Structure 1
Amino acid sequence: MEQIFIRPTYKKAGPNDFFRKLQKEVQDNVLTDTSIQRKNVIKSISVLLFYFILYACILIFGNNVWLLFLFYIFLGFSTMILFINAFHDAAHGAVFKNKKLNKRFMYVLELFGSNSYIWSKRHLLLHHPYPNVQNWDTDIKQSDIVHLFPESPILKIHKYQHIYMWFIYPFYTLNWLFNRDFKDFFGTKDNYLKRILRIPKIEYFKLFAAKIFNVFYLVIVPILFLNQPWYLIVFAWLVMHIAASMLGVIALISTHVDEDAVFPMPPEDGKMDTTWAIHQLTVTKDFSADNKLANFLFGGFTHHVAHHLFPHVAHTYYPKITPIIRRYAKEYGFPYTCYPAYQAIRSHYFLLKKSGVKGGLKESIFAHGEI
């Protein structure tokens, strides 16, 4: 049983590996344009300022019930846009050239009541190296209430997950605020993150401080400042979280967990039968990559294949990188998928339906040695 905790390793790429050529072409033809990087800096700062403006509007116009709810809803959307675009890029060191500026920008997650340290470690040390790898990708495996990994225990209730998960997804950010972070910090069951790092004590203090501050400025301050019943403000705050969750879930379910998703189980010795780059292509999908509005809202998630192959590159470069990836995928016969958003959501529904019954994913997983 202990062998499952051996870190997976990928095959070494050869000197003529396609990814070496792809990297060189992207470097020579795309990344030399520094104006694209500046666009990301401007976008990141603008979205952050917009967040603060919306919060100010709650305090200024919140005595009108309709405006109270309107600005809370917009604040929810702004929260997710800021997270998906600016924070996500900063966590990858892709907003500013200066590492310290990226690290400071990541404190927007504390503004949202979470912990930037634990999120970045989970995302960078587990999800990106091992996307969709069973047990290791803890961004995919978050709760026993949904069954996605074929080797995870399947419960009777999972038969209905394609129905009930759509009632749970709208509370994604609330679950993150009051549950997920605590599982990462204090949980012992399947806590792969704590197997590979020791969380500094200061982060425990920052975790609680961020959550208290988040509830204070988003709920307590408006209650004290506005001439509105406390329960109305709490309800508006809940609606804000639903708005943020609905926007965020579109990105989260559209990139790795469609009906054709593969969830490889690493061999006992941890040695995968594929290179890192081919694995990223196999388990990652794009959605609405040619839609300008979707690109603005979801940043590096619409061009998620480019993000996984070039995680330290600003998402504003991805619309120019994706056509190159498509060409290489076609030339070398590698998988590449790009769905419209509605089709990606539909495909996720069928994944939930298939994976909710025993044996439902047999045709869509890679067994040992097949990836």
Structure 2
Amino acid sequence: METLVKPVFQRPAKDDFFKKLIKEVQENVLNSKKLQLKNRRKAFLFLFLFLGFYGLILTFGNNTTLLFTFYVLMGFSMIILFINSFHDAAHGAIFETAKQNRLYCYVLELFGSNSEIWIQRHLLLHHPYPNIPNWDCDIKQSDVVRIFPNSKYFNFHRFQHIYMWFLYPLYSMIWLFIRDFKDFFGTDDNYLKRVYTIPTKQYVLLFAAKIFNLCYMLLIPYLVLNQPFYLIFLAWITMHLLSSMLGVVALISTHVDEHAVFPLQEEDGKMSNTWVRHQLEVTKDFSAGHPVADFLYGGFTHHVAHHLFPTVSHTYYPEITPIIKKYAQEYDFDYTCYSMLAAVKSHFSLLKNCGDSSNLIFSGEL
């Protein structure tokens, strides 16, 4: 497997503004226990909704309209639970102890995936090295879509701003039945295995979670309900398609807009920025402060605050973001917050630009 030198960021100056920002956040925001309690309530609420909608499937699923309705609502609750509570627990940001947070993370096994591998991908690669080619595996997931400027170009990429509209709704199914196996068994572009050795236990959990998920999502409803299997299967597919569309908004709106930068490291690994300046350069907010968006998307609407304070509950971020904006103006660094629609539009503009072969000479591909 290819060996690469880890990125090394510049050391901050003694008068770096981030120290002042941290102090202000600690003194004025983080001492609120109510915001932490709010996050825990959301964690149990979303888990209750997910399990509750499943119970409604088994109770009222003989009505075909209700069968589809409750599958879709369960899918939405799954995505919202993942984006809000699982994501925070993965950062150790909900409960007091690491053990409690890790226990909550097993909801991802309930969804059919592997929580340990997701956590390692996210904490060892995405957060330390966001948008850095060959390191951020949340950006580079497949050759089907070209986002990094130094990624290999295929002729079909010129249509990616079109066909990705049809592939993004398949995101959760691709994750469960392709990407998970690529993380465990793949060798090409497997960034994770450069920094982490997967324990044997996780291979067992990988298959156990998928079998368990398919059994309770498909087999048990078929055995309990008086519905043909094809209708249950179709409701399950519909759940994944619609819930993926809800989740993809968060994934494409924070790092990969048309103005995104993808800094390259030198041969010795050195980066041109400090870690903080890098996070600010590559991270964007969307619909920050909108009450519905904040409730549904947790730490993704205020994603700049999340990348600067990753171990802090997302319920604090609406209070932290104004402080970040104040320092952005005072210390002359960019802060961007798109509307949700503008963020999605900007992402597809990026796809179109990265799929244009005439731009390759500027991207370093030629």
TM-score interval w.r.t. the shorter chain?
over 0.9
Alignment partner of 1:123 is 2:107 = no
SS state at 1:273 partner: strand
CA deviation string 1:203-224 (max 9, x = no partner): 0000000000000000110011
Partner of 2:50: 51
Instruction: Indicate how the Cα distance of structure 1 residues 37 and 366 shifts in structure 2: closer, same or farther if over 3 A, else same.
Output: farther
Which amino acid counterpart does residue 222 of structure 2 have in structure 1?
I
Alignment partner of 1:210 is 2:218 = no
Task: Measure the CA separation in 2 of the matches of 1:277 and 1:285.
Answer: 14
Instruction: Indicate how the Cα distance of structure 1 residues 86 and 362 shifts in structure 2: closer, same or farther if over 3 A, else same.
Output: farther
- TM-score, normalising length: structure 1: 0.96
Cα distance, 1:358 vs. partner? 2.7
Cα distance, 1:135 vs. partner? 1.0
Partner of 1:193: 192
- TM-score, normalising length: structure 2: 0.98
Partner of 1:329: 328
Alignment partner of 1:34 is 2:33 = yes
The runs of at least 4 consecutive aligned structure 1 residues that moved more than 2 Å come to 358-363
Partner of 1:271: 270
Unaligned runs of 5+ in 1: none
Instruction: Indicate how the Cα distance of structure 1 residues 304 and 361 shifts in structure 2: closer, same or farther if over 3 A, else same.
Output: farther
Which amino acid counterpart does residue 52 of structure 1 have in structure 2?
L
| Conserved 8 A contact 1:154-1:357 | no
Task: Measure the CA separation in 1 of the matches of 2:359 and 2:350.
Answer: 9
SS state at 1:272 partner: strand
Task: Measure the CA separation in 1 of the matches of 2:153 and 2:125.
Answer: 23
Task: Measure the CA separation in 2 of the matches of 1:284 and 1:124.
Answer: 16
Partner of 1:285: 284
Which amino acid counterpart does residue 310 of structure 1 have in structure 2?
F
Partner of 2:223: 224
Partner of 1:296: 295
CA deviation string 1:105-153 (max 9, x = no partner): 0000000000000000000000000000011000010000000001010
SS state at 1:274 partner: strand
Instruction: Indicate how the Cα distance of structure 1 residues 306 and 361 shifts in structure 2: closer, same or farther if over 3 A, else same.
Output: farther
Instruction: Indicate how the Cα distance of structure 1 residues 46 and 288 shifts in structure 2: closer, same or farther if over 3 A, else same.
Output: same
Cα distance, 1:244 vs. partner? 1.4
| Conserved 8 A contact 1:22-1:328 | yes
Cα distance, 1:97 vs. partner? 1.2
Which amino acid counterpart does residue 311 of structure 1 have in structure 2?
P
Task: Measure the CA separation in 2 of the matches of 1:366 and 1:12.
Answer: 27
Unaligned runs of 5+ in 2: none
Partner of 1:164: 163
Task: Measure the CA separation in 2 of the matches of 1:31 and 1:230.
Answer: 50
Alignment partner of 1:345 is 2:355 = no
Root-mean-square deviation over aligned CA pairs: 1.5
| Conserved 8 A contact 1:306-1:318 | yes
Which amino acid counterpart does residue 213 of structure 1 have in structure 2?
F
| Conserved 8 A contact 1:264-1:366 | no
Task: Measure the CA separation in 1 of the matches of 2:112 and 2:151.
Answer: 30
Partner of 1:239: 238
Task: Measure the CA separation in 2 of the matches of 1:119 and 1:341.
Answer: 25
How do 1:60-139 residues align onto structure 2 when only pairs under 5 Å count? 60-139=59-138
SS state at 1:31 partner: coil
Partner of 1:261: 260
| Conserved 8 A contact 1:251-1:298 | yes
Q: Percent identity?
A: 60
Cα distance, 1:360 vs. partner? 2.8
| Conserved 8 A contact 2:49-2:77 | yes
Partner of 2:354: 355
SS state at 2:59 partner: helix
Pairs aligned (count): 365
| Conserved 8 A contact 1:170-1:242 | yes
